[in-house]
Amino acid sequence: MIAEIISIGDELLVGQVVNTNAAWMAHHLNEIGIPVKKISDIADNAEEITKALDEAFSRSDVILVTGGLGPTKDDITKHTLRDYFKTELVFHQPSYENITRLFGSRGFAISPINRKQAEVPANCTPLINYNGTAPGMWFEKDGKILVSLPGVPFEMEAIMEQYILPRLAEEDNQRVVAHKTILTQGIGESALSEMIKDWEESLPAKMKLAYLPQPGIVRLRLTAYGETKEKTLQAVENQAKTLQSLIPELIYGFGNDTMEQIIGRLLKEKNCSLSTAESCTGGYLAHLITSVPGASDYYQGSVIAYSNQVKQEFLRVSEGSLKLYGAVSEQVVKEMAGGARKRFNSDFAVSVSGIAGPDGGTPEKPVGTVWIAVASKNGITAKKFMFGEHRGRNIRRAALAALNLLRLSLLE
Amino acid sequence: MIAEIISIGDELLVGQVVNTNAAWMAHHLNEIGIPVKKISDIADNAEEITKALDEAFSRSDVILVTGGLGPTKDDITKHTLRDYFKTELVFHQPSYENITRLFGSRGFAISPINRKQAEVPANCTPLINYNGTAPGMWFEKDGKILVSLPGVPFEMEAIMEQYILPRLAEEDNQRVVAHKTILTQGIGESALSEMIKDWEESLPAKMKLAYLPQPGIVRLRLTAYGETKEKTLQAVENQAKTLQSLIPELIYGFGNDTMEQIIGRLLKEKNCSLSTAESCTGGYLAHLITSVPGASDYYQGSVIAYSNQVKQEFLRVSEGSLKLYGAVSEQVVKEMAGGARKRFNSDFAVSVSGIAGPDGGTPEKPVGTVWIAVASKNGITAKKFMFGEHRGRNIRRAALAALNLLRLSLLE
């Protein structure tokens, strides 16, 4: 069974919206063993939609369509599907009741255009959208499946999880795919590739390795094709284990683990608390840490010290160090970590001070210079990093490097 | 002139990577008046790539291809292009010198696989990639253009900005497109649609309106087609002005403005400083504010107070209020804002206290309950919000609502 994704929306073709839906759907289809052959982004245009549907039906078994189901005039997917299947729109009472419930709970009145959202093509099975007003629609044609879903990510995701993925998983799949993603930090793509060359070349023919570099991180995706789910999964697991024994210090996790989740697990295991003190990362480090549900179990808080005065007053950094070494220095970043650990009364504290850019660089300390320190009962260690010139990437790389230093310190 | 984008990479089809490149390219092509007809994501597979190239050449004038140029074994785009154009790879000395420079500056030695990255198909014009080792490649065929670019976003973006967009902008464009995006906050898609119905229906035939909802924000994109750039731009500008006169209180900005940039401009104009105090947003509010270059001109810093103790110690919130009203209350969020304004000695202070979820809700204060306060020399005002159940969205919506309250307070 081969799937294909069609994302409908002018906003995609003018580049106003990034298509996160396709990635989400592709990921979840692969997880249940259904490979995705193609993703297409097309305009809110009946002719383009019809052409894309014809092409997709000619080569794929399952077609997932998102977008164009909103209540406004620019959304034409539903009417195009009605014409495509040569049918008419019928009123779907349960969808209308869902709309009533949604509007009632927010204290709004239902408008005529919202009422129209409960109408669906007569040949589809409507899928109730508990998070929004546009129902999903399940069509079947010549043994093939087409599903139309709203483009709002969390509405689409809920309908996928509730109805579509379980139903597709029940279908017979012709081939088994297993994936394992290995997460590395602190080494570039080509250096890593040289280092694991022999292992990579020894992989069996039915196994494929892909390098997925991001700022500060290289993910390795190992994909295997096989006969049974169990054997194929076992095969990738074994190869991942071999790789881990080759480069243990570079691998921080697997799969969809994030560095912040791993930190959270380690802190919980050790029953330790954490605080942070940020300058150039400006709250991004705290945001990563607190994006994990339950972070309040171990995270005390942070001081975002965007000025020297704040560093002195809230973190007790000495005026002498700021004058003598400057805010971006080993001395100051250590005092920030020590000050945070003491003032927040936490077991661990991480601090970051650097020059994110685009301004503020000097010949001695160019944009991208970042000092990071970790304080614990064993003392305070600091490390200097030289990142690049781009503000957003420097913030991201500095926060990841800070989490990784903390991780290594937690593993000590 | 019609463009088409082909993104190559298994990682896109297994959903491991979101295709941000296509959105970036589509946005910049539209800006120079070149509409994008289609975006396709396909696998690292020579047959699929060849088929996609054939289809694209049959309907588009400019084809932009990204991905598959890395140094590792899974990257096959360059060899597929060599075969597609029936040519051979030749060594490109300037690209090799660029690789030498990049490795030298990082203190690494050049490996044989990196040296191979300086080889390109004989029929292309190589485009030097100053941010990475894989050069871009510009091909021409029967009056049509194909460009192959690395998949790493900032490498692709730099080559696009430096070579490709200026060159394409010089070409004759058959039709003129103008866009104007109007940004609204605090109203849902269908309520907004009802409110501006008459205006929307009065739009001329060559103008199109699209609704782009996001958590907390609805963007309206107005698109016009016309004969001359100037006239078409003027037409959308006029319509946007009319709309602004209809719903002035709901519109916070235009185009690619972000709420945080607008806040930054307002603070600079008024020569005012800002501090924040965050509980449930956990640093995300500070991150938005500091993602704007030059934020240190007006931003003092933040206290992320993830525990009551931190609220008391760093922000001087009274123990009595915490006991009597709880951390998520009008009283406490006002004390947080007042405490931050005083301790950071800033003109404005914004505070957020709420329940982001998934845990921590009670019948009286369910997940999604958020209090936000703004303190200024005119006193402290607070407002309660009821968001949804999803942690990430609650954090995002709370931070945006906080910035909007600050914006309204700055405009008073």
| pLDDT tens-digit map of A152-164 | 999 999 999 989 9
Interface of A with B in 304-363 (CB under 8 A): 304-307, 309-310, 313-314, 343-345, 357-360
Q: Is B142 exposed, middle or buried (0-12, 13-18, 19+ CB in 10 A)?
A: exposed
pLDDT at B108: 67
Contact by Cβ (8 Å): A114, B190 = yes
Which chain A residue's Cα is nearest to B29? A14
Quick one: pLDDT band at residue B174, thresholds 50, 70, 90? low
Q: ∠B221-B151-B33 over CA atoms, to 5°?
A: 35
Quick one: pLDDT band at residue B173, thresholds 50, 70, 90? low
Residue type at B385? F
Retrieve residue A56's tokens: 């997709």
Give the tens place of pLDDT for each residue, A42-52: 999 999 999 99
Across the range B136-159, mean pLDDT stands at: 95
Nearest Cα to Cα of residue B400 among B211, B196, B187, B194: B187
The residue assigned the tokens 């419930």 is A101
| Of residues B12, B48, B314, nearest to A314 (C-beta) | B314
Quick one: pLDDT band at residue A174, thresholds 50, 70, 90? low
Give the tens place of pLDDT for each residue, A124-151: 999 999 988 899 999 999 999 999 999 9
pLDDT at A220: 93
Closest-CA distance of chain A to residue B23, Å: 4
Across the range B325-344, mean pLDDT stands at: 97
Checking if the pLDDT of A251 tops 70, the result is yes
Which chain B residue's Cα is nearest to A178? B14
Quick one: pLDDT band at residue A225, thresholds 50, 70, 90? confident
Cα–Cα distance measured from residue B390 to residue A130, given in angstroms and rounded to the nearest whole number: 14
Cα–Cα distance measured from residue A400 to residue A352, given in angstroms and rounded to the nearest whole number: 11
- For residue B241, the SS3 value is helix
Strand order across the beta sheet in which A136-141 lies? A125-127, A136-141, A144-149, A62-66, A3-8, A36-42, B36-42, B3-8, B62-66, B144-149, B136-141, B125-127
pLDDT at A234: 93
Checking if the pLDDT of A107 tops 70, the result is no
Give the tens place of pLDDT for each residue, B92-112: 999 999 988 887 766 667 888
Q: What is the CATH code for A3-170?
A: 3.40.980.10
Contacts of A325 (CB under 8 A, 6+ apart): A331, A332
Rg over alpha carbons for chain A, rounded to the nearest Å, is 26
Residue type at A250? L
pLDDT at A171: 75
Interface of A with B in 130-189 (CB under 8 A): 133, 152, 154, 179, 181, 188-189
Cα–Cα distance measured from residue A310 to residue B346, given in angstroms and rounded to the nearest whole number: 11
Across the range A274-286, mean pLDDT stands at: 97
Give the tens place of pLDDT for each residue, B234-250: 999 999 999 999 998 78
Whole-structure pTM value = 0.75
Checking if the pLDDT of B74 tops 90, the result is no
Cα–Cα distance measured from residue A56 to residue A38, given in angstroms and rounded to the nearest whole number: 9
Backbone angles phi, psi at A325, to 5 degrees: -110, -20
Instruction: Pick B166 or A263 by higher pLDDT.
Output: A263
Give the tens place of pLDDT for each residue, A176-189: 778 899 999 878 88
ipTM for the whole complex? 0.74
Checking if the pLDDT of B184 tops 80, the result is yes
Residue type at B293? P
Interface of B with A in 54-83 (CB under 8 A): 70-74
Across the range B246-275, mean pLDDT stands at: 93
From A301-310, B119-128, B175-184, the region with the lowest mean pLDDT: B175-184
Checking if the pLDDT of B342 tops 90, the result is yes
The residue assigned the tokens 């906050």 is B185
Across the range B201-228, mean pLDDT stands at: 86
Checking if the pLDDT of A40 tops 90, the result is yes
Beta strands (DSSP E) in A150-306 are 176-185, 207-214, 217-226, 251-254, 274-278, 299-305
* Residue burial B202-240, b: 16+ Cβ < 10 Å; e: rest: ebeeebbbbbbbebbbbbbbbbbebeeeeebbebbeebb
DSSP label at A160?
Answer: I
pLDDT at A250: 87
Quick one: pLDDT band at residue B369, thresholds 50, 70, 90? very high
pLDDT at A106: 60
Quick one: pLDDT band at residue A75, thresholds 50, 70, 90? confident
Q: Does domain B176-254 have CATH number 3.40.190.10?
A: no
User: Cα–Cα distances in Å, from B373 out to B290, B316, B343?
Assistant: 20, 15, 16
Quick one: pLDDT band at residue A175, thresholds 50, 70, 90? low
Retrieve residue A201's tokens: 């070349």
Quick one: pLDDT band at residue A105, thresholds 50, 70, 90? low
Residue type at A325? Y
Checking if the pLDDT of B115 tops 80, the result is yes
Across the range B135-155, mean pLDDT stands at: 95
Checking if the pLDDT of B191 tops 70, the result is yes
Backbone angles phi, psi at B309, to 5 degrees: -60, -45
- Other Cβ atoms closer than 10 A to B144: 15
Closest-CA distance of chain A to residue B371, Å: 18
Instruction: Please state the length of chain A.
Output: 412
**Whole-number percent of chain A with pLDDT over 70:** 98
Checking if the pLDDT of A306 tops 80, the result is yes
Give the tens place of pLDDT for each residue, A346-377: 999 999 999 999 988 998 999 999 999 999 99
Residue type at B367? V
**Domain range annotation of chain B:** 3-170, 176-254, 259-411
Which chain B residue's Cα is nearest to A31? B14
Beta bridge partners of B179: B223
Closest-CA distance of chain A to residue B209, Å: 7
Give the tens place of pLDDT for each residue, A59-70: 999 999 999 998
User: Does the beta-carbon distance from A16 to B219 stay under 8 Å?
Assistant: yes
- For residue A103, the SS3 value is helix
- For residue A373, the SS3 value is strand
Across the range B289-293, mean pLDDT stands at: 96
Q: Number of Cβ pairs closer than 8 Å across A and B?
A: 309
Contacts of A359 in chain B (CB under 8 A): 293-294
Query: What average pLDDT does the structure give for chain A?
Result: 92
CATH fold of B259-411 reads Maf protein (3.90.950)
A244 in reach of chain B (CB within 8 A): no
Quick one: pLDDT band at residue A173, thresholds 50, 70, 90? low
Tell me if B176-254 shares its fold with B259-411: no
User: Does the beta-carbon distance from B300 to A284 stay under 8 Å?
Assistant: no
User: Does the beta-carbon distance from A70 to B211 stay under 8 Å?
Assistant: yes
